[in-house]
C-alpha cells in the first residue's frame, strides 16, 4: 500500500482490516447467540476465507462478494444460469438490444427507510465509470455507451445517454447492440446498487478503497450488518422491512474457521451449513463421514469455479515458452486423483465444463516433462534464479496442491520455494503485482466475458496480462448480439488461452454442498445464485 493510501484510511478502517486479516486464519470461539441457543431463527454458515472488504464497489474476492449479497441487492437475481428474478428492478427491457430500460421495484427501500430510486442507479454506474474510483465492477458496465473496455469514462464526467425517466425508471444505451443476457448477467446481477445519499459524501479517490465502507451502515438487502468479531464471525440480522418480505431467519453468522473445524461443527450442530463455493468447502477426506451423519444433507455438483497457478506476466522472464513449460511440467492428473478422489476435473483454460461456452474440442496441454524442458530451454530462463509461490491458507486441497507443484517444478529444473500466508495478504499482493507465482481460485460468472482477468487496468487482472490480440478477440465476442455467435468466438478464445498459458489452470473442483437436513433453502446447484431467496430460508 502506498503512502497516499495510508493517509486516507482511518484508524477504525485499519482495525477492521486487521480483523479481516485475522479472520482468514480461522479459529475463535462459537459466536454469541449461535444456533445452539436458538436453532429455529438463527443460521451459522461455516467459511474459511474472511471477506477481504465490505465495499460494494471493490470486491474481487469470492468471500467478500458472498458476504455482500446478504446485505446489498443487485438489480436482478440469477438462481439459475441465464434465468433472472426481480430484485431492485422488476425488469431490464429492450426492443433493439441497444436501448435498455430499467424498471425499479416501487417498494424497494434502503435500510434507513429512504426509497431506492433512479438517482441511486445512475450514481452507482457513474461512480464505477469515474477514472478516479478504484473498483472491481468496471467490466460489468463496459458495454455502456461512452465507457472503455475496462468500464471507465473515455471523456466527460457522466455516462452519456444514461437518463432518469422518473424516480423508478432509468434508460441507458450500449455502444452497439449486444446480447440481452450479457447485460442482465453483468450489469443486472453483478453490480451492487449504492445508496447515493451515503456514498456521494465520500471523495471519488476514496470511495472505492477496500477499507472505506467496512460497516455497511445503509444497505438494501435482506440482512443488516451488525458486527465483525476478530477472527471469528460476521454477524447479520434480519432487515424486517425488506421489500421482498421480512426474512424468516432473524440472525445469520458467517463463521470463519478452518475446513476441519467446519466438519466438526457441522457434526455437532453448531454450524448448520458449509458456505461451499471455494470459501467453505469441507475436506474431501471427511466426505464419507459426513454422508453417514443422518442430520446432514451432502450433495456434489459441477461448478463454475477453478483453481489456478497465477504468473506475473509483467516479468519479462515469464514469456510464453516459460509459461508453457510450467504448465506441462505439472502432473495435474495425479493432483486431481490424489487430492480430489474423482471430484475435480482437468480443464485447458479458465472456462469450466459448467460454462455455456465450454469448448470440449480444446484439450489441455499434456503433462510431458521432456517437452516442458524443451520449452524451458527455448524460454532462456535463468534456472539459477529462485522462484517463490505464494500460497493462501485455508483451502486444504489448494495448500496440498502447492507441494505437488513445487515437486514437479523442481523436476523441471527450477528452484522453487513456497510461502504460505493469510488469504487477504495473498490477494493484496496479487492486486499490486507483488509476487512471482501464486495460487488462487476464481468463482467465474456464467456469462463468458472474462476480460476482467485479462484487461490492462482491470482490478482483477492479477496476472498483469497485456495482450492486444486476446483483448481484441474478447472485445469482439462480448459485442456480438447472438449467443450462438458468442459461443463460437469464445471457443476460439479458449484455443488462444490454452496455447499462451497466461495462467496455468490446475483443475475445476465439484461443488460439495453440506447442510443440516432441517434447513429449508441453502446452497443451489448454481452456487453464485444461492442467496437469491435467502429471505425465505428457514428451519423445519
Domain positions in the chain are 3-68+221-301+511-539, 76-205, 305-509
- Check: CB of residue 483 under 8 Å from CB of residue 181: yes
Check the CA dihedral 33-34-39-45 and report its sign. Answer: positive
Alpha helix segments (H runs only) across 200-348: 204-207, 259-268, 287-291, 320-329, 332-340
Query: pLDDT value at position 26?
Result: 36
What is the distance between the terminal CA atoms of the chain, rounded to a whole angstrom? Answer: 48
Burial letters 65-92, b for 16+ CB under 10 A, else e:
bbbbbbbbbbbbbbbebbebebbbbbeb
Q: What value does the mean pLDDT take over residues 3-22? A: 35
pLDDT tier at 39, thresholds 50, 70, 90: low
- Check: CB of residue 53 under 8 Å from CB of residue 214: yes
Q: What predicted TM-score, i.e. pTM, was given to this entire model?
A: 0.74
Alpha helix segments (H runs only) across 332-441: 332-340, 369-379, 396-412, 423-432
Beta-carbon contacts of residue 213 (< 8 Å; ≥ 6 apart) = 54, 55, 56, 57, 199, 207
From CA 404, how far away is CA 421, in angstroms rounded? 18
Q: What value does the mean pLDDT take over residues 384-401? A: 92
C-alpha to C-alpha distances, 51 to 69, 243, 342, 360, 475, nearest whole angstrom: 12, 26, 29, 34, 31
DSSP state of 153: B
Query: pLDDT value at position 423?
Result: 86
Work out the percent of the chain whose per-residue pLDDT is above 70.
Answer: 92
Instruction: Give the CATH superfamily of 305-509.
Output: Dipeptide-binding Protein; Domain 3 (3.10.105.10)
Query: pLDDT value at position 27?
Result: 38
CA 9 to chain centre: 24
Q: What value does the mean pLDDT take over residues 453-478? A: 92
Query: pLDDT value at position 16?
Result: 36
Q: What value does the mean pLDDT take over residues 481-493? A: 92
Model confidence pLDDT, tens digit, residues 504-539: 999 998 888 999 999 999 999 888 899 999 999 999
Burial letters 250-263, b for 16+ CB under 10 A, else e:
bbbbbbbbbbebbb
pLDDT tier at 213, thresholds 50, 70, 90: low
DSSP state of 410: H
From CA 348, how far away is CA 360, in angstroms rounded? 9
Higher pLDDT, 29 or 117: 117
Model confidence pLDDT, tens digit, residues 285-305: 788 889 999 999 998 887 788
Q: What value does the mean pLDDT take over residues 391-416? A: 94
Q: Is residue 471 predicted with pLDDT exceeding 90? A: yes
C-alpha to C-alpha distances, 187 to 61, 117, 133, 428, 436, nearest whole angstrom: 18, 16, 17, 26, 33
Check the CA dihedral 10-12-16-18 and report its sign. Answer: positive
- Check: CB of residue 44 under 8 Å from CB of residue 272: yes
Query: pLDDT value at position 92?
Result: 98
User: What integer best gives the mean pLDDT of the chain?
Assistant: 89
Q: Is residue 7 predicted with pLDDT exceeding 60? A: no
Question: Max alpha carbon distance in the chain (Å)?
Answer: 66
- Residue given cell 475435480 in the structure block: 344
- Check: CB of residue 116 under 8 Å from CB of residue 105: yes
Model confidence pLDDT, tens digit, residues 93-110: 999 999 999 999 999 999
Q: Is residue 34 predicted with pLDDT exceeding 70? A: no
Helix (H) or strand (E) holding 356: none
From CA 493, how far away is CA 470, in angstroms rounded? 7
Phi, psi (deg, nearest 5) at residue 20? -65, -40
The angle formed by the CA atoms of residues 424, 503 and 153, to the nearest 5 degrees, is 70
From CA 463, how far away is CA 314, in angstroms rounded? 8
Model confidence pLDDT, tens digit, residues 129-164: 999 999 999 989 999 999 998 899 989 999 999 999
Query: pLDDT value at position 462?
Result: 94
Model confidence pLDDT, tens digit, residues 220-254: 999 999 998 867 899 999 999 999 999 999 999 99
Fold for the domain defined by 76-205: Dipeptide-binding Protein; domain 1 (3.90.76)
Q: What value does the mean pLDDT take over residues 200-228? A: 88
Higher pLDDT, 234 or 423: 234
- Check: CB of residue 170 under 8 Å from CB of residue 161: no
Query: pLDDT value at position 17?
Result: 37
Beta-carbon contacts of residue 78 (< 8 Å; ≥ 6 apart) = 84, 85, 184, 185, 188, 189, 446, 526, 528, 529, 532
C-alpha to C-alpha distances, 13 to 126, 207, 214, 233, nearest whole angstrom: 25, 13, 7, 17
Q: What value does the mean pLDDT take over residues 337-360? A: 90
From CA 264, how far away is CA 255, in angstroms rounded? 13
- Residue given cell 469441507 in the structure block: 282
Query: pLDDT value at position 31?
Result: 53
Query: pLDDT value at position 446?
Result: 83
Query: pLDDT value at position 22?
Result: 32
Q: Is residue 36 predicted with pLDDT exceeding 70? A: no
- Check: CB of residue 97 under 8 Å from CB of residue 225: no
From CA 357, how far away is CA 10, in angstroms rounded? 45
- Check: CB of residue 489 under 8 Å from CB of residue 477: yes
User: Among the listed ranges 87-91, 167-171, 207-211, 254-258, which one has the minimum average pLDDT value?
Assistant: 207-211
C-alpha to C-alpha distances, 381 to 293, 320, 321, 414, 426, nearest whole angstrom: 52, 11, 9, 9, 25
Pick the closest to residue 433 from 538, 276, 291, 313 (CA basis).
313
| CATH class belonging to 3-68+221-301+511-539 | alpha beta
Q: What value does the mean pLDDT take over residues 164-183? A: 95
Helix (H) or strand (E) holding 64: helix 62-71
- Residue given cell 447485460 in the structure block: 183
Query: pLDDT value at position 232?
Result: 85
From CA 427, how far away is CA 220, in angstroms rounded? 27
Q: Is residue 499 predicted with pLDDT exceeding 50? A: yes
Query: pLDDT value at position 8?
Result: 35
Model confidence pLDDT, tens digit, residues 41-92: 999 999 988 888 889 999 878 889 999 999 999 999 999 888 999 999 999 9
Amino acid at each position: 500500500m502506498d503512502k497516499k493510501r495510508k493517509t486516507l484510511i482511518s484508524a477504525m478502517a485499519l482495525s477492521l482490516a486487521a480483523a479481516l486479516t485475522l479472520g482468514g486464519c480461522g479459529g475463535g470461539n462459537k459466536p454469541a447467540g449461535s444456533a445452539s441457543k436458538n436453532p429455529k431463527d438463527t443460521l451459522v454458515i461455516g467459511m474459511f476465507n474472511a471477506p477481504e472488504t465490505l465495499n460494494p464497489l471493490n470486491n474481487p474476492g469470492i468471500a467478500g462478494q458472498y458476504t455482500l449479497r446478504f446485505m446489498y441487492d443487485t438489480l436482478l437475481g440469477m438462481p439459475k444460469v441465464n434465468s433472472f428474478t426481480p430484485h431492485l428492478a422488476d425488469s431490464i427491457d429492450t426492443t433493439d438490444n441497444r436501448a435498455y430500460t430499467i424498471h425499479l421495484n416501487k417498494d424497494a427501500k434502503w435500510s434507513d427507510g429512504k426509497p431506492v430510486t433512479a438517482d441511486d442507479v445512475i450514481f452507482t454506474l457513474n461512480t464505477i465509470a469515474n477514472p478516479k474510483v478504484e473498483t472491481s465492477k468496471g467490466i460489468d458496465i463496459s458495454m455502456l455507451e461512452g465507457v472503455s473496455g475496462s468500464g471507465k469514462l473515455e471523456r466527460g464526467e457522466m455516462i452519456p445517454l444514461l437518463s432518469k425517466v422518473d424516480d423508478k425508471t432509468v434508460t441507458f444505451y450500449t455502444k452497439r447492440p449486444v446480447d440481452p443476457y450479457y447485460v442482465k448477467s453483468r450489469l443486472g446481477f453483478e453490480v451492487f446498487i449504492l445508496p447515493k445519499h451515503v456514498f456521494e459524501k465520500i471523495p471519488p479517490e476514496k470511495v472505492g478503497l477496500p477499507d472505506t465502507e467496512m460497516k455497511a451502515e445503509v444497505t438494501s438487502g435482506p440482512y443488516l450488518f451488525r458486527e465483525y468479531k476478530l477472527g471469528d464471525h460476521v454477524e447479520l440480522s434480519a432487515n424486517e422491512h425488506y421489500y421482498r418480505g421480512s426474512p424468516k431467519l432473524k440472525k445469520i453468522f458467517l463463521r470463519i474457521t478452518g475446513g476441519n473445524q467446519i466438519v466438526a461443527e457441522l457434526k455437532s450442530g453448531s454450524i448448520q451449513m458449509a458456505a461451499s463455493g471455494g470459501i467453505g468447502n469441507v475436506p474431501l477426506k471427511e466426505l464419507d463421514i459426513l454422508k453417514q451423519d443422518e442430520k446432514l444433507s451432502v450433495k456434489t455438483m459441477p461448478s463454475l469455479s477453478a483453481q489456478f497457478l497465477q504468473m506475473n506476466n509483467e516479468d519479462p522472464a515469464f514469456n510464453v515458452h516459460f509459461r508453457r513449460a510450467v504448465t506441462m511440467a505439472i502432473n495435474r492428473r495425479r493432483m486431481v486423483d490424489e487430492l480430489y478422489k474423482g471430484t475435480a476435473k482437468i480443464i485447458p483454460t479458465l472456462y469450466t465444463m459448467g460454462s455455456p461456452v465450454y469448448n470440449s474440442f480444446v484439450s489441455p496441454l499434456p503433462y510431458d516433462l521432456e517437452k516442458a524442458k524443451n520449452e524451458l530451454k527455448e524460454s532462456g530462463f535463468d534456472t539459477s534464479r529462485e522462484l517463490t509461490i505464494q500460497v493462501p491458507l485455508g483451502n486444504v486441497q489448494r495448500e496440498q496442491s502447492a507441494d505437488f507443484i513445487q515437486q514437479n517444478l523442481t523436476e523441471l529444473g527450477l528452484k522453487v520455494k513456497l510461502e504460505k500466508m493469510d488469504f487477504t495478504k495473498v490477494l493484496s499482493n496479487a492486486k499490486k503485482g507483488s509476487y512471482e507465482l501464486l495460487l488462487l481460485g476464481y468463482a467465474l460468472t456464467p456469462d463468458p466475458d472474462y476480460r476482467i482477468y485479462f484487461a490492462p487496468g482491470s482490478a482483477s487482472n492479477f496476472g498483469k496480462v497485456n495482450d492486444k490480440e486476446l483483448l481484441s478477440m474478447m472485445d469482439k465476442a462480448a459485442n456480438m448480439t447472438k449467443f450462438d455467435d458468442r459461443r463460437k468466438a469464445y471457443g476460439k478464445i479458449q484455443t488462444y488461452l490454452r496455447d499462451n498459458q497466461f495462467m496455468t489452470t490446475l483443475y475445476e473442483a465439484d461443488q460439495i454442498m453440506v447442510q443440516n437436513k432441517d434447513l429449508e433453502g441453502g446452497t443451489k446447484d448454481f452456487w453464485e445464485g444461492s442467496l437469491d431467496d435467502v429471505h425465505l430460508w428457514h428451519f423445519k
